[in-house]
Copies of this chain bind each other. A is one copy, B any other.
Amino acid sequence: MSKLDFSPIADTTRRAEIVALLRRAILTGQLEPGQKLNELRISEQMRVSRAPLREAMRELVQEGILASIPYAGTFVIDVAAKDIVDAYSLNKVLDDFAIELTWPQRDQRFFDELDRRHEAVKQATRSLDTTRQIEAALRLHGLIYEWADNSVLLETWQRLTSRLQMYFALHQRARNEPVPAEDLHETYVALLKGTDMRAAQRHAREHIDDDFEELLAFARGLEERASKGAERRR
């Protein structure tokens, strides 16, 4: 009996690869909100028929980052200021819950992984690669969800994260300069290692509120652009 246990091999369907490609394009902001996805054009670019592409798009619609209107087209979702407010306020509630569930389950492996991901954030920050920085920060943040041992909660957070990542990417793209925000994670990690759960929860809430103001101001700007930019869908 071998000690080694293998993980399932990667999905080898075109569909899965298309999903990954499209998701990345959307979450990094390469595909802008409101933009229409032309099936024929994309399928030709990817050297793939429309069938797997369409199936991939259906998945992303359900994932909440694409929106489909029958016979009209499939579009990258529009980002309204209210959406960001909504997502953030729910995120706060979920954070609270995730910390509560994770708290009694913290062990050495948890702390190690926490450090590992924190390190990844620092490194990404140094590299000035904003996309990677966002991904790393979200991965750090996601640890409490992975550790909470509640599959429904984890899945819910991952859906929420897709949007948050999109919002952040747009934000970054608009500002076009990296954000430091390092020390915030420093205290976050420290509190998760500590003994005061309430303090950790409180910090998570406040931590969120910090970047929030800035992001929201940006969102209101987007809102104006979007209201008169319906014709951008082409």
Residues of chain A at the chain B interface (Cβ within 8 Å): 11-13, 15-16, 51, 54-55, 58-59, 61-64, 70-71, 82-83, 86-87, 89-90, 93-94, 96-97, 150-153, 155-156, 159-160, 163
Contact = CB atoms under 8 A, between A and B. Distances in A.
Contacts of A64: 155
A55 B51 CA distance: 9
Given A51-B51, A54-B55, A86 B152 contact: yes
Contacts of A153: 86, 90
A104 to B, nearest CB: 14
A54 B89 CA distance: 35
A64 B15 CA distance: 18
B90 A16 contact: no
Contacts of A82: 151
Contacts of A94: 93
A153 B70 CA distance: 25
Contacts of A13: 70-71
A33 to B, nearest CB: 15
B55 A150 contact: no
A176 to B, nearest CB: 28
Contact of A61 (B11, B59, B93, B160): B59
Contact of A90 (B55, B86, B150): B150
Given A62-B59, A70-B11, A87 B152 contact: yes
Contacts of A97: 90, 93
Given A11-B70, A82-B151, A90 B54 contact: no
A35 B200 CA distance: 43
21 contacts: A11-B70, A12-B70, A13-B71, A15-B58, A58-B62, A59-B59, A59-B61, A59-B62, A61-B62, A62-B62, A83-B151, A83-B152, A86-B150, A86-B151, A86-B152, A89-B150, A90-B97, A90-B150, A90-B152, A90-B153, A152-B163
A96 B64 CA distance: 24
Contact of A156 (B16, B51, B54, B159): B159
Contacts of A159: 156, 159
For the complex of A and B, list the 5 residue pairs with the smallest distance between their C-beta atoms, beginning with the closest.
A62-B62, A86-B152, A58-B58, A86-B150, A93-B97
